[in-house]
Structure formats: C-alpha cells, structure tokens
Structure 1
Amino acid sequence: MGKLNLINRVYLKECLSFKEVDLEFKKGLNIFTGPSGAGKSILMQAILSLFALSEVKANLGEIQLDNLNFSDESYDISLDDDIVIKSIKKEKVRYFLNNQTISKKNLNNLSTMLIKHLNLKDTSEFDSHKLVVFLDKLSSKNKKEFVEIKSSFDTLYLDFLQIKKELKKILEDENKLEDLKEFAKFEIDKIEQINPSIDEYEELNLIKKRLSKKEKIEVAIKKASGIMEFNQNVTNALELMEVDSSFFDEAMNELNNVFEKFNDSLYELEDINIENVLDRIEKLASLQKRFGSIEECLKYKEQKKKELESYENISFQKEKLEKDYKRINEELSVLSLEISKYRKETSLILENKINEYLKFLYLSNAKIILEEKQLDNSGIDNILFELNGVSLETISSGEYNRLRLALLTSMSEFDIVDNGILFLDEIDANLSGKESDAISKVLIKLSKSYQIFAISHQPQLTSSANQHFLVDKHNGISNVKLLNEKERINEIARMISGENITSEAFEFAKNLLK
C-alpha cells in the first residue's frame, strides 16, 4: 500500500462556539462523537475550510500535513514534504501555504489532490471519466498488451485532433474563399499595374532633378559658349608673348568636352515627358509609403501569389484531409472497441470486488454498465452504475453512501489509486446496529489506504476508531478532546443508553472496545 497523506495537527481560534481547538491526529480512523448541538459539524466544516472547501468561520486556523505523496513546483512542494496551511479572517479571508499567500481557487485545486470529501451532493466518485481512468490503470496492471493498444489509441487520437482542426479551418476558409481569392488577386494586380523595380524611385528622382534644371543649363551654356569666339585671339596673344599656349588649349578643349557631353545628355532628355516621370514617382512613392520600401512591396506581392496558389489548391488539401480523417477515425473505432473489451473484462473484476463489500453492508447486486457513447479522447465507453437494477438517482441516501464506500474500498484494494485523506459526512446516521457494524468493518479496511475523519452516531463505528474525539458544550462554549480508554467506554455507553448510563450499556461498551 502506498504512503498516506496525513493531517497531523489542526489549530483553530475563535471559531463560532469554539474558543480554541488544538488537536493532533494519527493515521487510520478518527471519529468525532458528542451530544446533539455540541459542535461536531462546526468542527468538521472548520477543518474543511482550511482546505478552502467550506466557508471560513475561525478568526485563525492552521493545519499541518505530513508525508505528501505529490509535488507542485508552483508552490515549491516536493515529494515527502510537510506543508502548513493557514487562514486568517479579518475584514476578508486570507490563505497561506508555507507562509506564501495563495488564492482560494488555487488552494481549492490543490486540496482536491490531497483529500476527498464525501457528501451526498458529491457524486464525483461515480464520474464516468474517473472510472474509465481507474479501469484503464487496472487493465494496464493486469494485461500488458492493453498498454500498447491504449498508447496507440492516445497517439492516433492526437493526430486525429490535428487533422480535425486543419479540416475545420479549410471548411471555414471555403466559405470565404472567393473573397480571399479576390483580395489576393486585387493586391497582386495593384502592384503589377505599377510594376516597380528596385532603385527605380531613386533613378527617376535624379531625372526629375535634371529636367527641372534643363532650361537653365541650356541658357547658361549658350551664354558661356561665347568664350569660344575669342579662343584664337587668346592663342595669338600668347604666341606674341612667346608663352606656351598648350595649357590654354587643354583647358578650352576640356571646357568644350564638358559642354558637348552635357548637351548630349540634355538631348537624351528631349524625349522624356516630365508629367509621366512625376506620375511614375507619385505611384512609386505611394507603394513606398505603404510597404516601407519597393523591396518589401515585391516581397508582399510574392506572398500574395503563394496565398492565391494555396487557395487554388484548397480543394486538393481538403480531399486529402478528408481521406486521412476517415482513415484515422476507422482506426480509432477499431482500437476503441479493443479497449472497450478490456474495460468490460476489468469492470467485472471491480464489480465482483464491490459486491463482496456490499455483502458486509447488507446490499447486493451492484452492476457496472459500459454503454457506447460518441468517440472522444477516452474512447467510446460511458460508465453507469445500477443497484438492484435501478439507477443511482433512485436509491436511498443510505444505500448510496454504502455503495460509495464499497467502491472506494474496492479501488483502494487494487493499490493503483492515490491514497489520501477522507472526510465522511453523517456516514452512519439513521442506520441499524448491524448496518453500522458493517460500515465500521469496511471503514477499518479503507483506513489502511486513507486517513479518515467522520462524525459517528453509532457505537459500532465509534468503537472501531483509532482515535476517538469527544465534542461537548458547556455554557455555550464548545470543547473537543481526545479520549482515553476509560473515557471512551463512558462515551460509547452514553451513545447506547443516553445521559443516564446503565450498567448493561457500560458492559456492552467495554465489550465493543475489546
């Protein structure tokens, strides 16, 4: 049997009729008894409130847990750690876990891993998903080939979900496909009508700059060309002065070349329409403004072309996905039927074990039914319970409690469920002596897997306790204490005969404890 989570201490201050409570607990069966109205339910609810499972009534509360068999990185909890949970109630309630603040919601989520609180409102033990998980664990333990089949199913189901997701997107895209295609074509055409090229914008701006200066330059060259008329006069003067005129000739030749070259370039601009250049620059500028650069604009065009191509191929993709969807669905159906066969075999093992315990509890004929449901991640099995041929909704609360105990005890016996702390509400109320005796025997068995806390109304269950706590009330103040053997005999005798304890009740109590 695995290790148990254990509550080893509870401290409460100013909790309704309780001024102060300081209790230490051991593993096994912990029973609270006492007269009606003494505060047993208040105490139980106050302990549960420290797990954020009921409303906080105590001004200060603290609970210590040992021997944890789980870990939680978010709260720095490791296996085998001890933890302390505190609650402080002033204007509002605040919770602390190992001196770190923790929200009520997070504490509640954490508590579900630590404890079970069984009450008539809680039907989670019969939840189909939980039972499926248990049957799969038991099947894996008993049948090694089941592990491989279940692993194949789980892997294939993940592929199935991915294909389903992709197919759903394609079907959604199909509805707006024409709009998407039209938009992609529009964007491509818009860019291709301009048909920009990289560096074109800069080159056109240079041309624009030259065109804007063309007339001024032509006039200036015409005026400056007059110097050529005096070219020979300058040469003659230099020769008369016996000065080498080559420097002048070279300068004039260079000047002439510059003028001719620029005239040629201006001639090239003759056929260029300035309006067309300006219009082209404006269009390129609008693309640059939208995309940041012509290079980015061309990248966008290629992206839209690829999108358009993918839209054209969507029918092909859809057809392929639909084939894959159908194939995997068929494979999953085959695997889920195989899994269901193993679960049915395993459910009979669990069912027989439950009925063994029900014999002790004066009940019989529990039936586990696997009905087919729509395929999901757990397969095709929905699990239902019947007792004597009727559903759980129609059985009495006493029958429901006993069936749940038989289920829990059976599951714990296979040693594949997490052990923990179990709180039981009014487990033996309104039961006969023999029914109470039967429940006590089952709880003794269950207490090997759980630390159990219960309020008892019957001497049979009370006498089975590993620790027996008496809740009493005097002058409006409630108190609770752990009883020794002599005190236990007196309390059990009171439970049998009332406040006026008879010698027969006293002897019967002694015999029960033996």
Structure 2
Amino acid sequence: MITHLKIRDFALIESLDLDFQTGLSIFTGESGSGKSLVFDAVTSLLGGRCSTSNIRTGKEKYSLQAIVSLKDHPEAKTYLTEQGFQWEGEEIILTKELLKDGKARVKIGDSLASTTHLRELGKTIAEIHSQNEQLFLLEKSHQLEFLDRFGRLESLKAKVKLSLQNFRHWKEKLVSFEESVLHSKKRREILNYEIGEIESISPKEGEDESLAQEERFLANGEKLSENYRYILEELSDKENSILKVFPSLLHSIEKITQLVPEKMPIREEWEDVYDRLKALKSTLREDEEELFFSPDRLDMVQTRLQELTKLKKKYSSSVADILLQLQEKKAELEKWSLEEDDRDFLVQKHDQSLAELKELVFQLSRSRRNILNSFEEEVQKELQDLGMEGARLQVVLRWEENPNGEVEDGAKSYFLSESGLDQVEFYFSANLGEKPRPLRKVVSGGELSRVMLGLRSVLGKFCPSPPILILDEVDTGLGGEAANALATKLKRLSRNSQILLITHTQQIAASADSHFLLAKYAENGRTFSQAKILNFGERKLELARMIGGKQVTQGVLKAATDLLQKKAV
C-alpha cells in the first residue's frame, strides 16, 4: 500500500503531503479543485506518462515521492530483487522529478531507475481505472484475462506460452534448416564444379614458376644452340680454331722468354689462359649436349601454363593459394553433407513440441469452457447487487481459422497466440429480454463502471485482489440503490486492497475509511490547490454539500449525519 504521498510544484499543487491508511480512501471536492491532479501524480509515480505542462508556472521542475509498503507485495519484492534494487525493512521510496527540458529523474529506493522500471513495478502493486482507462475492459485480451484469473488458469496459460515459444523455436530451426538445405544444394553444386575444375588441372605447388622458366628456355633454344655451336667452332672445331693455334702461340712465347728471361711471367699467363679456355670448352660442350629444344615440348608447356593462369585468375594469384582453397572447398562440402544428417533430429523436436503444444492448448480451451457458466452466474449476481437486475454478461469463445495456423483440428487450421486458441468477446445485455451484443458496442459509461466493479468483485471472491486499486470517478452516472450497491462493493473490496477513489457520490463517500477534501484558493494573484483529511464533523459538512449543494440546511445536514453513521457495509 501507499503510506505517504508528497507532491511539489505540480500544476495547482505547490506543496502537498498526504498520509494514507488501509481500506477505502476517497477524494471529494468541487470540479477543478485538484482531485485528478493527485491521481495524476500517483499515476506518474507508478510509471504513467508525464508532461512538462504539469510543472507549476515559474518553477523548473515538479517533484513527486511516495512511500510504498511492501508487506503485502511479494511480486513487487521479486521484481525489485531481480532488477537489483535494494531497500530496508518493508518500505521503499519512489521518487520522480520532471524538468522543463522534458528529462525525468527517477529513483527507486536510493538507486537511479527509469520510467520503465516504475511502470513494471507499478504493475505489481496497483491497478488504475478511470473513465478512460477502464476502456481496457473492452479489449478482448483483457476480457480473456478476467476469465483466466477467475478460473485460476494463469499457470496453465503460462505453460501454453512457454510451449508455444518452444514450438516456434524448433519450427524456426526446421524452416531455417530447410532453407539452408536449398542453399546448400546450390552451394554443393558450385563446390563440386570448382573442386572438379581444380582437380582436373591438378596444379602442383611451384609448378607455374618452373614451367615459366622452362618456357623461356625452350622459346630461346634454337638461338642458344646456334651460339653454342659458333663458340665451340671458334674454340676448337674449325681448322684454325683458337685452341688449335694456341700451342703455336705458346711455342712463340717460350722462344721470347728464352731470349728475354724477364718475360717469363707472360708465358705463365698465356699458359693459364690456355688451361682456362680448355676448361671453358669442356663446360660449353656439356651445356650444348644437355641443351634440348623441342617445339612439341614448348607447345605442351605453354598449354599447361595457360591452364594454370586460368585457375589463378579465377581463384587466386598463386598455385599455393589455389591448393589451400581446394582443401577448404572439400571441407565445406563435407560440412554441408554432415548438416543434412540433422534433419531427422529437427523434425523429431518439431513434431514433439507441436504435440505438446496441441495437448496444452486443447486443455486450456476445455478448462475455459468448463468455467464459463459459473463465471457468468457470478458476474450476474454482482450486477444484480449493483442495481442492474436484468443485466446479463455472456462470454463467447471462438477459434479463428487461419490457413497458416499452427494448430490443426480436423481439416482446419487455427490461429494461435500465447494465450491459446480462444478468441474471447464479452457480450452484454443491460435489460431483461434484450439479446446480448458485444460489450464494446452497447455499454454506456455508467454501465461499464458497474460491469468493471462487478468483475473485480467476482475476482475478489476467487483470487487475490491487487494490493492497490486507484479509481477515478468510476461511479459516474450512478445514484440511488445502484450507488448504495457500488459503495458496498467498494467497501468489501477494500478489505483486501487499498482503494484510492475520486467520487461525487455521497453513499460512497460515507463508506470511506479516510475522506480527503480538495479545495483551491487564490492568494497574491496565484491559484493553489490543497487537501486535508476530514474528521467526523467535517465529513458531515462535506456530505451535506454533496447532497444539497451550497445551501446546507438542517434537513440536509441530518441526512448527511444519518448516512455517515450508517455507512455502507
């Protein structure tokens, strides 16, 4: 429950501090007195939208703070723990400031937080209903939630949600696998072609370099042979070759050295040249003999080089890289082949998860249909207590056909959501003998308020109520016995929930455990809104104002006193 609320510079409210008790707390006051501002502040603190237009004129920000008791809020404690927030004892402080630039500062306890944190925490501790916000009752998803909470089917619905997520996981895996199979088929065709292309040429590492060298040699073989032959002829093969005349030269050199002994070193040099020429001739002869020139071999080498060049242009700049790619392509081809072996496993998981899902959704749908009659009967009783004698609420459950539905029954497929197969619609008839029609089409504002309170009362009998109910003028359009009945319902609900309620109905105001009066006044050219909790005497005067208006006669005051003393129980 909220034990304390502090509001600073929020529209007409300059400063307001309110202490709350358990039970039913009501707010009254003339139109424009600021009642809705208090509720807007509470709503903002619980994660609702905030607007800079609510910052009081002349101020830089508004500041809101609430002290919340966590004693009866196990879900709130769980959420706070999961999000890493800390608190001491059984209370936590929620703080929110909004600056003129639109930036919000939020704290939960002593920790900085976001508006999303406030909103998620707020869902665990409070429900907020107003003339606009209670339109949620007209949404089919919320109607289904009422039915499931009545039948305590939340656990089964949670299983359906998990099962659906599990099924969709394996369905996505299988679909993805099937798509990969199509992709792999094309990829395998490409890989097989590329592997075959490389292996048909069968390149060897370094082969291109050695063939290029051989090509250069073969392309110049004829010229090399001519030059070798010329050199050898000049050295030794022709009649007057160098080596053949060289002994005569040496003989003449020897005669010179005999006549001029000082020239002996020249003779040695000439003898050395002769020896080197003979050695060079032997080397050239060997090279000539090893020289091989074949046009056929040249053609074969050039053809091979063209094949290797084609591969290098397509796959890589070197044969070594092509050979590496060949191994990678073989490994990839093997991987694609191995992945196809997983199909049986995925199909098995898909079928198992679908069978489990179908069993759960059929079970959930049967369970809902089993509680329909009792749910409708209980709601009808509550509506009668609220003065709607001939009113009737009927729940219609349907399955929506969908050719792409995930659950089949017979020859038809049906749409499936995390809530199961059932599509729900509340049908309503306000008067006896009238045919029920969709609630969203026929209900008035006042009727909707009573239907909502009737549903809330039914849930209060069979499942835990929310710790805090915040109701903004849900009694609009009610009076007489209907207002008395609503007051009784609210009083009963307040036994298990803290209820904060804006009302213009004296019967409800008389039933309150705490009564706050909002009023506005002008001072120094500014308008202020203030609130105070009323004692017994002040409550009599406020009830008298609500009954008779500004003219409070003794008769009206007595009626207010009698009403307050009776109270709705």
The unaligned stretches of length 5 or more in structure 2 are 56-60, 237-242, 244-281, 401-413, 430-435
User: Is the aligned partner of 1:60 residue 2:107?
Assistant: no
- Return the alpha-carbon distance in structure 1 between the equivalents of residues 295 and 493 of structure 2: 102
Cα distance in 2 for partners of 1:74, 1:45 equals: 28
Alpha carbons of 1:126 and 1:199: their partners in 2 closer, same or farther (altered >3 Å)? same
- Map 1:107-506 onto structure 2 (within 5 A): 107-122=118-133, 123-125=135-137, 127-133=139-145, 135-136=147-148, 139=151, 157-158=164-165, 160-162=167-169, 164-165=171-172, 184-195=188-199, 200-209=204-213, 271=297, 273-286=300-313, 287-288=315-316, 294-300=323-329, 303=332, 336-363=361-388, 364-373=391-400, 374-376=414-416, 377-388=418-429, 389-393=436-440, 394-416=442-464, 419-475=466-522, 476-506=527-557
Counterpart Cα distance in 1 of 2:152 and 2:500? 32
Deviations 1:381-417 (A, max 9, x none): 2222222223212121111110011112222332356
SS of the residue aligned with 2:540? Answer: helix
Q: C-alpha distance in 2, partners of 1:289/1:421?
A: 75
Structure 1 residue 331, shift from structure 2 partner: 7.5
Of 22, 27, 30, which aligns to 1:32? 27
1:76 aligns with 2:64: no
Structure 1 residues 484 and 181 mapped into 2: Cα distance closer, same or farther (>3 Å)?
Answer: same
Report the Cα distance in structure 1 between the residues aligned to 2:540 and 2:157, rounded to whole angstroms: 54
Q: Is the 8 A contact 1:33 1:471 kept in 2?
A: yes
AA of the residue aligned to 1:435: A
Name 2:264's counterpart in structure 1: none
In 2, Cα distance between the equivalents of 1:201 and 1:73?
Answer: 65
**CA shift in 2, pair 1:191/1:21, >3 Å:** same
**Any idea what the Cα deviations from partners look like across 1:204-237, whole Å, max 9, x if unmatched?**
3345456657879x8999999x99x9xxxxxxxx
In the alignment, structure 1 segments of 5+ residues that lack a partner are: 1-5, 230-255
Highest CA radius of gyration, 1 or 2? 2
Q: Can you list the C-alpha shifts for 1:428-454, whole angstroms capped at 9, x where unaligned? A: 233213222111111112223432222
Structure number with the bigger relative contact order (C-alpha 8 A, sep ≥ 6) is 1
| Change in CA separation of 1:455 and 1:157 when aligned onto 2, cut-off 3 Å | closer
Count residues in correspondence.
472
3-state DSSP class of the match of 2:447?
helix
8 Å contact from structure 2 (residues 515, 533) kept in 1: yes
Structure 2 residue aligned with 1:87: 97
Question: Could you tell me how far apart the structure 2 residues matched to 1:292 and 1:85 are?
Answer: 66
- CA deviation map 1:451-481 (0-9, x unaligned): 2222111111111112211111222322111
8 Å CA contact 2:33, 2:518 repeated in 1: yes
Q: What displacement does 1:198 show? A: 9.2
SS of 2:98's partner is strand
Quickly say closer, same or farther: Cα 1:420–1:282, change in 2 above 3 A. Answer: farther
CA distance in 1, matches of 2:104, 2:162: 43
Question: What residue identity is the alignment partner of 1:278?
Answer: L
Secondary structure of the structure 1 residue equivalent to 2:422: strand
Compared CA separation, residues 151 and 430, structure 1 to 2 (3 A): closer
Structure 2 Cα separation of the partners of residues 391 and 452 of structure 1: 29
Matched-pair contact (CA < 8 Å) for 2:26–2:515: yes
For the residues of structure 2 that align with 1:263 and 1:157, how far apart are their CA atoms?
A: 85
Identity, % of aligned pairs?
Answer: 22
State the distance in 1 between where 2:97 and 2:322 align. 62
Q: Note if contact 1:94-1:101 (Cα within 8 Å) is conserved in structure 2.
A: no
Query: Quick one: distance in 2 between partners of 1:266 and 1:45?
Result: 103
In structure 2, how many angstroms separate the alpha carbons of the residues matched to 1:334 and 1:404? 33
Deviation for aligned residue 1:491: 1.3
Shift of 1:262: 13
* Compared CA separation, residues 412 and 262, structure 1 to 2 (3 A): farther
Would you say 1:96 and 2:135 are equivalent positions?
no
- What do you get for the CA RMSD once the two structures are aligned? 4.7
Distance 2:424 2:497 in 1: 25
Q: Give the 3 Å change call, closer, same or farther, for CA 489–155 of structure 1 in structure 2.
A: closer
Tell me the distance in 1 between the aligned counterparts of 2:35 and 2:202.
86
Once the two structures are overlaid, the 10-residue window that deviates more, 38-47 or 278-287, is 278-287
Matched to 2:107, the amino acid is L
- The CA distance in 2 between the partners of 1:325 and 1:75, in whole Å, is 34
Structure 2 residue matching 1:200: 3-state secondary structure: coil
For residues 498 and 424 of structure 2, the distance between their equivalents in structure 1, rounded to whole angstroms, comes to 28
* CA distance 1:390–1:284, shift in 2 (3 Å): closer
1:116–1:422 contact (8 Å) kept in structure 2: yes
Residues 276-299 of structure 1: CA distance to partner in whole angstroms, max 9, x if unpaired? 453344344342359965323432
* CA shift in 2, pair 1:381/1:48, >3 Å: same
Alignment partners' CA distance in 2, 1:180 and 1:152: 36
CA distance in 1, matches of 2:180, 2:545: 76
